[in-house]
Structure 1
């Protein structure tokens, strides 16, 4: 079994899938990445270019070309889901049928704003949490 990305579909029920393999170098005792393009049998003919798929090796060659078979589609291209709401989105808009009512939207904004902390500057430091004694700088935990 391997995970790969569909590169092209030129024939029905067949896809070219790019798979990242790791080959062992016996001399260095290290694995090195290696890309391989496989011709894969697509039984349902429902994958598109760009999909991430799980493939399994066939027991025997099919049509003298296809060595593997698509088990399932792991990630459809273009199916982006907002992690906070679980709705499908396109750019910064929800797709039709996935609308949030205004009350739920405001509640979600409040919940997210509680967890957000954005300092005014990236180098901002709370000086009250440090104390200076002679030449040593020690931090005191006021939490």
Structure 2
């Protein structure tokens, strides 16, 4: 009984992956399973649908999810508690500063002010003036939409041409 109640209140950290459900985020959680024969842990992945009414989660974001006391729908069993990291915005968890590769953004900015941006370096990009991620949503960026899946296209006249389950 104790383990079951503990698992219900557990929080999971996972990565948002592409999904087709509106108002929810599909989250992939990495778990470690013990192999009794080898006495080693191996990664396994569990997928959960988490309630995201504001639709803040995008593919690649790292989020914190919690199991709902009651299922919202058959698929939605968790809720998004917090957005930890957005894709592309890497933050050092200790200092809270933004990072590019192995350097802090303010260090790169300071170096660029002193010496100018280097060739082929991330120093030439201005992060303060860059638009936020997803600003072209619905215009040119279609990463928020579901990919088209056509396994086979039948020619007109074929008995399965107009069958939506066949394409």
Q: TM-score, normalised by structure 1?
A: 0.56
Report what 2:28 is aligned to: 18
Gaps of 5+ in 1: 99-143
1:66 corresponds to which of 66, 73, 76: 76
Distance 1:10 1:16 in 2: 9
| RMSD, aligned CA | 2.7
Distance 2:128 2:39 in 1: 53
Summarize the Cα distance change of 1:13–1:27 in structure 2 as closer, same or farther, 3 Å threshold: same
Q: Is the 8 A contact 1:38 1:68 kept in 2?
A: yes
Q: Does 1:85 align with 2:95?
A: no
Distance 1:86 1:75 in 2: 21
Q: Does 1:94 align with 2:115?
A: no
Give, in angstroms, the shift of residue 12 of structure 1. 2.4
2:44 corresponds to which of 3, 21, 34: 34
Q: Does 1:46 align with 2:56?
A: yes
Give, in angstroms, the shift of residue 47 of structure 1. 1.2
Distance 1:54 1:5 in 2: 9
Q: Which has the larger radius of gyration?
A: 1
* Structure holding more strand per residue: 1
Q: TM-score, normalised by structure 2?
A: 0.49
Distance 2:106 2:36 in 1: 49
Counting matched residue pairs gives 96
